[in-house]
Structure 1
Amino acid sequence: MAKLSGLLSRELTVYPTGGRRVWLLFIAILANFIASYEAQIAPVLPLLLNDLNMSLHQYGIVSALSVLSAAISALLFAPLADRYGRVKFLVPSLFLTAVCVYAMVLVETLSHLLILRVVLSFVDGVAIGTTAGLVRDFSPRMGRALAFGFWTFGPVGSNFFANAMAGWTLPIFHAWQSQFIISGTIALVSAIVILFNIADLSPELRSRIVHSAGETGEREAAWEKPDKAAISPKMREILQFPHIWALCIGITLFLLTYMTIASFGTKLLVDVFHYDAHQAAAIAKYFWLFNLVTLLVAGWISDRLQLRKIVSLTGTVLFALYMVFFISLFGTEVPEGQMIIYTSLLGGLIGIAYGPWCALFSENAEDVKASLQSSAWGLFGFFSRIVSLTVYFVAPLVVAASHWGTWLWIAVGVGVLVYIPCLFTGKGPWLRKKEGGVAHTPLA
């Protein structure tokens, strides 16, 4: 027990540099990937609904309650992670959710599914604030967007991986239970690796803002000891700033389409284009693959220019224009190869908008108070879960009354019209100053 406590209390008193910092950043990203992968259910949704004789509306209610549980968890544990450290809450949650994933194999009724998904979601809700806080801790601002692009590999990469795994193994095992045995095993092994490699910054280091990796050695000695208020953050301090709220609300509504694909992607492809379940899972994985690619490319461009808002706005406008074409395909017969291209483009455009926003939000929160990073991301986690709850609850009702096209028009319209004004509230430059070079541009 003492050894385990020591692993969970490991703190760094000197800011890591070089390969050590990159390794710790990788471990934080891996933790987010595993936390997201443990929650995957969409690739087997058509089979699960049939086996449990469950309607899409019933599944929507189960998912809505699960997401509400995760929202409460994200808001509850994020400020605790800022105060006491990320690792103490993150690592136990990874092991507990792995147990819940294995237990999914035993689900036989709707009530079993409801109880297990609510418990799993509550435990899993710890991850978003803790992992985002760790990514901020180990990524200076000059590389912040690219780092959060990799962090987003959690939900994006896990969706791609889960769909790819289902497309590969479902024709072999046929049963949906096989996917939870596979994911539980991968999650458990990864959680053990994370346990022995993850670390926290000390409270004093978490209260600092690091602009570039090269400055830490020369500036660390000059850092003054922070006062008690700086290393004892309170979440209410971040809640006092309207632009933090606006950035959270705007992006979560913009992600309505993303959340629809994450929740019902294979179901949508089966219903609208009449693909088989394993075909739909195989097609859906390309949405996540190209989304990941553009998250990294857009993040790299945003870091090079030190511009977040204009890159995100460009992706948002292109996404809105593309969705007009994509929804027009509904009701037509689309070959599988073409649908792979269409879904890839959809995922890619969302990535262009979302990656730079992550850096923008992190930097805006950091400027409010550097030690409140998990609290800020916990607020985002709360709003994203509430919007995801809306998707689970409202989308099936809209689809039952009309069709999938109607719901996506609503998701796109609301998301784009709300996000663009909210993006303008973020503090930071729209365009580079005329001076040469790629110098850091401080937030306005």
Structure 2
Amino acid sequence: MRYLLMAVLASLIVNFEGEISPIVPLLLDDLGMSLTTYGLIGALAVAVGGVSAAIGGRLADRYGRVLLLVPALLLAAVCNYATVLVHTPAQFLLVRCLLLFVEGAATTTTAGLVRDFSPRLGRATAFGFWTWGPIGANFLAAGIAGLTLTLFTSWRSQIIIMGTIALASCVVVVFFIADLSPQLRARVITSESDMVAPDPGAADPRPARGLMANRVFWVHLVGITLWLVWYWTLNIFGTTLLVQTFGLKESLAAIVMAATWGCNMVALVAAGWLSDRLRTRKPVILIGAVGGVAGMAYFVALVDRGQADLGQLIGIHALLGTAMAVAFGPWMALFSEDMEDLRPDLQATAWGAFGLSVRLMIVAVLIAAPVVAAGGTGWSRWLLIAMICNLFFVPLVSLLGGSRRRRPR
């Protein structure tokens, strides 16, 4: 439990250091960037992070998680503070590429650690907590911005606050994190009692063909990548969208987004616990996916109309945050288990492929969303595209592996 907590904290730190969505409007004004330029810079940086995620996953499987994670955490803190020195778009591009390169490898490593320290009977709950990393980063960044931007009007103040919190947390992780032996990482652990079974011997460092040649692997990646288009639209442009569409102040928009991520964090653990309790994944995933599409349709209508009160915006964002969590928490457990059934020794490699796939999608979002939003219909057309991507995910769920998880004798 302690090691699992450290993996969750590490995930939170590395995601928190790169979270700048609440300050994008201020950043654009200060650096004289257009939203399109910001999207292109972000796309290049995320592509660098995707390559790092794929490479980092393979290295973490081969040499261990902690050996890669600890230096990455400390280097990410340095890159975070370096953002304060940025004064031109070119400087911003350089710092973001460095930061996201470190973040890609570190995030993949923490996913592998969560699998290592969570038996299958509690896997969805464990990954629900792990997702507190990226979601908690959104919640903290939005909440801190909502509370402090009225006191410190500069976006640099937020970077300093984030860097200080992250650096202090890094020290805790460095002293209390640990790794499993290669022999244990190569085993499928259903419950904690399996840990007392005889050691099966050294892990077999075979190539990753057992993953790449399997249909379920690709269905997982395609489905979740499409499903995450809406999530990353809110993650990257949520505050900007609310400011531009509904005329909210940056601090109020940050509070609305904080409601999204706060509800998401609670629902992640609740949905994971329910999935573990029922020993099933797909029905819970479908409930979240269908509920999310319904909420998205309502929000698209609000954006198309261009007016909504603060209560409506908080309510629909809370619903969206909850639905996304109900689908994503059990999906992570199912992906981990399906990949474990294929190659238990290549968990970080599988999560690295997931990281690369999702980051390629983020590149597309960063490039396409500002262009589509700049058209005559504003953000409503892009949100409709994102909703359709989520709709495609629903039938793909039936093609995933993972039949009902039976309770062991």
For the superposition of Structure 1 and Structure 2, which TM-score range results when normalised by the shorter chain? over 0.9
Does the 8 Å contact 1:238/1:375 carry over to 2? no
How far apart, in 1, do the equivalents of 2:209 and 2:81 lie?
Answer: 37
How far apart, in 2, do the equivalents of 1:335 and 1:440 lie?
Answer: 51
- Quick one: which amino acid aligns to residue 411 of structure 1? A
How far apart, in 1, do the equivalents of 2:194 and 2:212 lie?
Answer: 31
* Offset from partner CA, 1:340-384 (integer Å, 9 cap, x none): 111111111111111110000000010111110000000000011
Q: CA deviation at 1:303?
A: 0.3
How far apart, in 2, do the equivalents of 1:440 and 1:119 lie?
Answer: 46
Please tell me whether residue 439 in structure 1 is matched to residue 407 in structure 2: yes
Aligned ranges 1:419-438 → 2 under 5 Å: 419-429=393-403
Length-normalised TM-score, structure 1: 0.89
How far apart, in 1, do the equivalents of 2:158 and 2:337 lie?
Answer: 38
Q: CA deviation at 1:332?
A: 4.1
Aligned ranges 1:224-263 → 2 under 5 Å: 224-226=200-202, 228-229=203-204, 232-263=205-236
Does the 8 Å contact 2:229/2:361 carry over to 1? yes
Please tell me whether residue 167 in structure 1 is matched to residue 146 in structure 2: yes
Which secondary structure state, in structure 2, belongs to the residue aligned with residue 40 of structure 1? coil
Q: CA deviation at 1:233?
A: 4.5
* Offset from partner CA, 1:138-186 (integer Å, 9 cap, x none): 0000000000000000110110000001111111111100011111111
* Offset from partner CA, 1:283-330 (integer Å, 9 cap, x none): 111100111111111111110111111110111111112222121112
Aligned residue pairs, count? 407
| Higher deviation after alignment, 419-428 or 114-123 | 419-428
Gaps of 5+ in 2: none
Q: CA deviation at 1:96?
A: 0.7
Partner of 1:216: 195
Q: CA deviation at 1:252?
A: 1.4
- Quick one: which amino acid aligns to residue 274 of structure 1? G
Length-normalised TM-score, structure 2: 0.97
Please tell me whether residue 270 in structure 1 is matched to residue 243 in structure 2: yes
Does the 8 Å contact 1:67/1:386 carry over to 2? yes
| Higher deviation after alignment, 321-330 or 399-408 | 321-330
How far apart, in 2, do the equivalents of 1:370 and 1:381 lie?
Answer: 18
Which secondary structure state, in structure 2, belongs to the residue aligned with residue 149 of structure 1? helix
Partner of 2:362: 388
* Offset from partner CA, 1:34-82 (integer Å, 9 cap, x none): 0100111101000000111111000000000011000000011111100
Gaps of 5+ in 1: 1-21, 433-437
How far apart, in 1, do the equivalents of 2:207 and 2:63 lie?
Answer: 12
Which secondary structure state, in structure 2, belongs to the residue aligned with residue 125 of structure 1? helix
| Higher deviation after alignment, 235-244 or 60-69 | 235-244
The partner residue of 1:136 within 115, 139, 145 is: 115
The partner residue of 2:318 within 344, 363, 366 is: 344
How far apart, in 2, do the equivalents of 1:173 and 1:249 lie?
Answer: 42
Which secondary structure state, in structure 2, belongs to the residue aligned with residue 200 of structure 1? coil
Q: CA deviation at 1:109?
A: 0.5
Aligned ranges 1:8-407 → 2 under 5 Å: 22-217=1-196, 220=197, 222-226=198-202, 228-229=203-204, 232-330=205-303, 331-401=305-375, 402-407=377-382
Which secondary structure state, in structure 2, belongs to the residue aligned with residue 429 of structure 1? coil
Does the 8 Å contact 2:183/2:200 carry over to 1? no
How far apart, in 1, do the equivalents of 2:288 and 2:408 lie?
Answer: 23
How far apart, in 2, do the equivalents of 1:188 and 1:73 lie?
Answer: 22
Which secondary structure state, in structure 2, belongs to the residue aligned with residue 155 of structure 1? helix
How far apart, in 1, do the equivalents of 2:181 and 2:206 lie?
Answer: 13
Does the 8 Å contact 1:82/1:373 carry over to 2? yes
Alpha carbon RMSD of aligned pairs, Å? 1.4
- Quick one: which amino acid aligns to residue 227 of structure 2? F
| Higher deviation after alignment, 419-428 or 36-45 | 419-428
What percent identity do the matched residue pairs reach? 45
